[in-house]
Chains A and B, each alone.
Chain A
Amino acid sequence: MDLKLKVWRQKNSKEKGKIVNYDAKGVSPDMSFLEMLDVVNEELIVKGEDPIAFEHDCREGICGSCNIMINGEAHGPLPGVTTCQLHMRTFKDGDTIYLEPWRAKAFPVLKDLVVDRSAFDRVIQAGGFVSINTGGAPDANALPIPKKDADVAMDAATCIGCGACVASCKNASAMLFVSAKVSHLALLPQGQVEKKERVKNMVNAMDKEGFGNCTNQYECEAACPKDIKRDFIRVLNKEYILS
């Protein structure tokens, strides 16, 4: 199939960007969205043009690198998938597709579709951990955890830190991301000791980075490629109030 691409091109964080038109011809429905971009880039290089910069690595939907707003939706139209797992059979011959970077003050554009998400790392560095040193940990089965709790903690821990929640929120709020980590650790006995400090420190770090507030519209949940539930935002709010 043949597609028309409208791609955000921006040389670096200082220069202004603009939408540029490209044709993607002979696209196979079995290609992933990124493989379609690979083909377009190969043609651009042969023509002597600068290929479109985009972030990617595992291409299995787990590393969280790939991040493209596709027709205004983070990771494109399908629920529960990352851009690298979006396949071209989702589109129709003749479609026009808009490709833009994540949009948020806390995620400045570095080039084309690549943004700087290091704000997420700094939020984790503020408290998204259990302060246990290596060695000397007690036997793992000395701490039984109800299956139900472990499963819900696992659901929260599944967050891949891609930033789709921020990109799809009109306030660029990081509440879903932060709530996932806070909930993961708050639901487990290991996380109890530091739980009050953790939530305060992470929320403060989130505010400092320039993420906006949550107004409960849950675009984040709709956009999340890992189906992180908005219920965790409730847990975050509860933990914050209790702290």
Chain B
Amino acid sequence: MSLDSKIPSGPLEKKWDDYKSHIKLVNPANKRKYTIIVIGTGLAGGSASATLAELGYNVKTFCFQDSPRRAHSIAAQGGINAAKNYQNDGDSVYRLFYDTIKGGDFRAREANVYRLAQVSANIIDQCVAQGVPFAREYGGHLDNRSFGGAQVSRTFYAKGQTGQQLLLGAYSSLSRQIGLGNVKMYPRTEMVDLVVIDGHAKGVIIRDLVTGKISVHAGDAVVLASGGYGNVFYLSTNAKGSNVTATFRAYKKGAFFANPCYTQIHPTCIPVSGDHQSKLTLMSESLRNDGRIWVPKKQGDTRNPADIPESERDYYLERKYPSYGNLCPRDIASRSAKEVCDAGFGVGPGGQGVYLDFSSAIQRLGEHTIAERYGNLFQMYEQITGENPYKVPMRIYPAVHYTMGGLWVDYNLMSNLPGLFVIGEANFSDHGANRLGASALMQGLADGYFVLPYTIGNYLAEVGFGKTPSTDHAEFKKAESDVNEQTNKLLSIKGKRTVDSFHKELGKLMWNNCGMARDEKSLKEALTKIPQIRDEFWKNVNVPGSGAELNQSLEKAGRVADFLEFGELLCLDALTREESCGGHFRTEHQMDDGEAKRDDNKFCHATAWEWKGVGAKPTEHREKLEFENIKLATRSYK
């Protein structure tokens, strides 16, 4: 089957406006006759649910947390980009578009990214109108800061809690619609299967996480806004509940999974402290505005950092990338940190760390200014490590952060399964092989507030109302019985190992063999070992309790079962893509100076995988990426 991206014709800057002017509309009186199911309440799902309900659709929204306010978008710290040019420093829609395409190493779809840059300015307007307390200048106007991968200040922020404030904005709009009865909200539930009827997504199977009850829900369209899959690595900056289940089960029902090997490694995380470590904590990228990254020039130098004179410090990012310096993109900063640590220059226990040093900024600006900019982050760092970053430099190391791959979608944000829309981190479309800072929040809200509400209407108008299937349909019955069967199987194994022990084993293998650097040998090894871990899981896992109660082990078991299949897909994708780009670094493909070496002749495409069964090789489909407006260039931040 060919992948039709449905990119509208015409000049890049007019595509979206022309598209909006020509799409089919649903009569306002008919909107309430449609039911839309939304999975997830982060920036994408929350904003989409609120907006679709405002438009008049019937919306049913599901989240696994106890409240829609707790979605993982809340943890984003640094900011959100928008091409407002408030700083008069030369920003424009085109420049934001170009930076994002270049940041993604020319592996994103041009038309989607341009649209993202276009609507970015509306997002800020919308959020301010909702009462999001963005940082302000003394004159009362909005403040901006700069972020990695850009040479303009276009990042809007609310202290170090931008994700929280944007999410609370979307949550408040969602709450308003729940209060009005336009959204039926189902917290503490999990989507465990997608129902496809005659090739169209028409419903979901839901497990109530408190009672264990399975329920079926039919709709005219299903929107997945369920986030990314970084927890396949076990240790990541993702919340513990973040999982691949909704997208993976949709994949098993026929939706294509695109570019799963594109996982972003964030350069500024707090290093691992021991085997008990359950997750990694990110220090906002905004810290790189004032923090300088360095390691000692001498290998294995264990001196107190204050005792190491300037002349014996290697500010390696400033040395290697003089124009971007500490603000080079995440993949480059991460790889550079790994390089210096692998070469024996790392600091802290185990040598897996580099310094992020604020001493010169504190000298220049005073502790008060630094505290005002990053106070809560410094506090968090001290809480976790027991060290005061005002006095000693922070220690940081890269960690898995964001996943750019996801279900394949066309320009309408619709997957290859009609009626299944995928938005935010759950889709693959906007970030290419690498995500620049402050662009995930932008995409989540762009999709939810300003893109999906148009494109889904076009689909619904074509399908027509009154076509919602009955939940008595055989596909619902089958999906429901499959779900019950899997639950019973997990509970009946009664083996010797815990779910977490399998997750940790998989995660370690993924990080070592398919982490910041991958090669043919490591990937082939992972592809041999993952099925072995999976086999053992299904023979030897111990899930206590029953399916008819709040059972956190059972929840985890279902998700880890999916990661054990998904991990294999991720490694297969990484093996197939014989080039280096952004967050996907194949050591066989690098320049003489260690920079990533793309192969535009062979790999200027998105890879979308089609499920063929457990252990069977999925079918590869390719969407060729056409760059009409940008000349593919070697990415340079020097």
Contact = CB atoms under 8 A, between A and B. Distances in A.
Q: Do A and B bind each other?
A: yes
Interface of chain A: mostly helix, strand, loop or mixed? loop
Contacts of A134: 47, 50-51, 54, 126, 173, 449-450, 453
A59 B279 contact: yes
Contacts of A12: 549-550
A42 B142 contact: no
B161 A158 contact: yes
B136 A150 contact: yes
Interface stretch (A80-88, A91-99, A207-215, A231-239): A80-88
A226 B70 CA distance: 15
Contacts of B384: 32, 85, 87
A138 B133 contact: no
B443 interface: no
Interface of B: 47, 50-51, 54, 65-70, 72, 74-75, 84, 86, 122, 124-131, 133-142, 158-159, 161, 164-165, 168, 171-173, 175-176, 178-179, 185, 187, 210, 239-241, 273-274, 276-279, 281-282, 379-380, 383-384, 386, 449-450, 453, 496, 498, 500-501, 542, 544-545, 549-550, 552-553
Contacts of A48: 542, 544
Interface stretch (A1-9, A111-119, A165-173): A111-119
Contact of B383 (A39, A51, A55, A85): A85
B126 A42 contact: no
A117 to B, nearest CB: 6
Nearest to B383: A85
18 contacts: A11-B549, A38-B276, A45-B498, A46-B496, A49-B544, A51-B553, A64-B70, A80-B379, A89-B386, A121-B185, A124-B69, A140-B134, A141-B86, A141-B142, A144-B141, A146-B136, A153-B133, A191-B131
Given A62-B161, A130-B131, A28 B66 contact: no
Given A60-B75, A125-B176, A138-B129, 6 more contacts: A111-B550, A121-B175, A126-B179, A134-B173, A137-B125, A157-B158
Nearest to A144: B140
A69 B6 CA distance: 54
A30 B69 contact: no
Contacts of B86: 141
A184 B131 contact: yes
Q: How large is the interface on A (under 10, 10 to 19, 20 to 34, 35 or more residues)?
A: 35 or more
B175 A125 contact: yes
A46 B164 contact: no
A87 B382 CA distance: 11
B66 A58 contact: no
Interface string A117-158: 110110011111111111101111101111100110110011
Nearest to B445: A134
A129 to B, nearest CB: 4
A60 B281 contact: yes
Q: For A31, A56, A124, A127, which residue has the most chain B Cβ atoms within 10 angstroms?
A: A124
Contacts of B50: 134
Nearest to B51: A134
Contacts of A147: 136-138, 140
Q: For B175, B210, B501, which residue has the most chain A Cβ atoms within 10 angstroms?
A: B175
Contacts of A146: 136, 138, 140
Contacts of A141: 84, 86, 141-142
B276 A137 contact: no
Contacts of B47: 134
B231 to A, nearest CB: 12
B498 A117 contact: no
Interface in A3-47: 11-12, 28, 30-32, 34-36, 38-39, 42, 45-46
Nearest to B82: A140
Interface in A165-198: 184-185, 188, 190-191
Contacts of A124: 69, 171-172, 175
Contact of A87 (B134, B161, B383): B383
A101 interface: no
Nearest to B139: A144
A87 B210 CA distance: 29
